[in-house]
Amino acid sequence: MTKRARVVVLDPVDPDALAALAEAHEVEVRIRPGHDELLALAAGADALVVRSGVRVTADVIRAGQRLRVVARAGAGTENIDLEAAREAGVQVLNVPGASAEAVAELALGLLLAVTRNIARADRQIRDGIWDKPNLAGPELRDHVLGVVGQGSIGSRIAELANGLGMRVLACVARPSPERDAALRERGVERVELPELLTAADAVCLSVPLTEHTRGLIGEAELALMGTGSYLVDVSRGGVVDEAALLRALREKTIAGAALDVHSRESGTPEFAALDNVVLTPHIGASTTDAQAKVGRILVRDLNAALAGGSVANRVC
């Protein structure tokens, strides 16, 4: 009888995915353990399953004496030390694109929440304050949305914005005449980042965190945005210089921001003291539909990796 692999699940995943994994493997669920416990868990694991809440550092990978796979139930792998995984011969796989619809819909919701002061109005009414005259905001139709990034998430954000009658600008990492033509067919005009920031009434960030995008939006970039403009961030913490954004919001050099991602995903951020900010705790992919889809792909690819088969979404 073939020995069952030991799979340690460290972040919440879809219940059906957990059940499917348990049919084939020995599964232990330990949600976001402390570092010492994480090292001990890794030592006896064949596979680790994470989302964004657990950092799989080099010492965690080195502790995994029999570790073969780290599976990311989502797209981003910035919380996994890929170089250490390569050196140890540990496969890393992810599930890109499965949550694009969920993240794009949240981006649109955040844009509406910050421009129409929805979250602020809700807080006020709960405190017995009816301040309707000071809650007016712009409509979206006939305004300009700048989308930074045109991957699966950014392209869906652009599509939703077009449906609302917005003019959509975008910037991409690798422009080409063919890419420009394809964007124009979808009602999107490609421009460079400075032009996008200057022209847009709202800017939405939907890029991965890489050495090229870290600090992409800082003081100089925020200065290009108009005083009536808004920033929506559904990318990754680190893409925006939070200190510079905090100053811009306090000084009202931009009108507001809506942030689903943060450099530190715990505690109370300084942004919480500001009325012109909407905050959510990195819930872009947190729909039942998206997590079910992620779960199905995760089970398929993790089973294949542990069986020694090929995996379509192998990162390293």
Identity of residue 90: V
Low-confidence stretches of the chain (pLDDT < 70) are 1-2
Q: Looking at residue 1, what is its pLDDT?
A: 45
Complete edge-to-edge strand list for the sheet that includes strand 188-190: 188-190, 167-171, 144-148, 202-205, 230-233, 256-259, 277-279
Angle between helices 100-115 and 118-126 (to 10 degrees): 60
* pLDDT tens string 296-310: 999 999 999 999 999
d(C-alpha 288, C-alpha 293), whole Å: 9
The single-letter DSSP state of residue 14 is -
Long-range contacts, 16-19 (Cβ 8 Å, 24+) = 16/292, 16/295, 16/296, 17/73, 17/292, 17/294, 17/295, 17/296, 17/298, 17/299, 18/295
Beta carbons of 52 and 74 less than 8 angstroms apart:
yes
Rounded to the nearest angstrom, the gap between the alpha carbon of residue 179 and the centroid of all alpha carbons in its chain is 24
* pLDDT tens string 211-247: 999 999 999 999 999 999 999 999 999 999 999 999 9
Active site residues: 236, 265, 282
Q: Looking at residue 3, what is its pLDDT?
A: 82
User: Which pTM value belongs to this model?
Assistant: 0.91
Identity of residue 201: D
d(C-alpha 200, C-alpha 72), whole Å: 34
Q: Looking at residue 176, what is its pLDDT?
A: 96
d(C-alpha 235, C-alpha 222), whole Å: 17
Q: Please compute, for residue 14, the number of CA atoms within 13 A of its CA located in the half-sphere on the CB side.
A: 22
Strand residues in the chain grouped as ranges (E): 6-9, 26-29, 47-50, 69-72, 91-93, 144-148, 167-171, 188-190, 202-205, 230-233, 256-259, 277-279
Torsion of CA 296, 302, 307, 311, to 10 degrees: 90
**Domains in the chain: ranges and CATH:** 6-98+288-306 (3.40.50.720), 100-279 (3.40.50.720)
Task: Give the per-residue SS3 of 273-284.
Answer: HCCCEEECCCCC
264 phi/psi in degrees, rounded to 5: -130, 115
CA distances from 153 to 39, 104, 140 (A): 34, 6, 19
Q: Looking at residue 294, what is its pLDDT?
A: 96
Residue 174: both structure tokens together: 């690798």
Residue 179: both structure tokens together: 């890419």
Q: Looking at residue 2, what is its pLDDT?
A: 63
Q: Looking at residue 4, what is its pLDDT?
A: 94
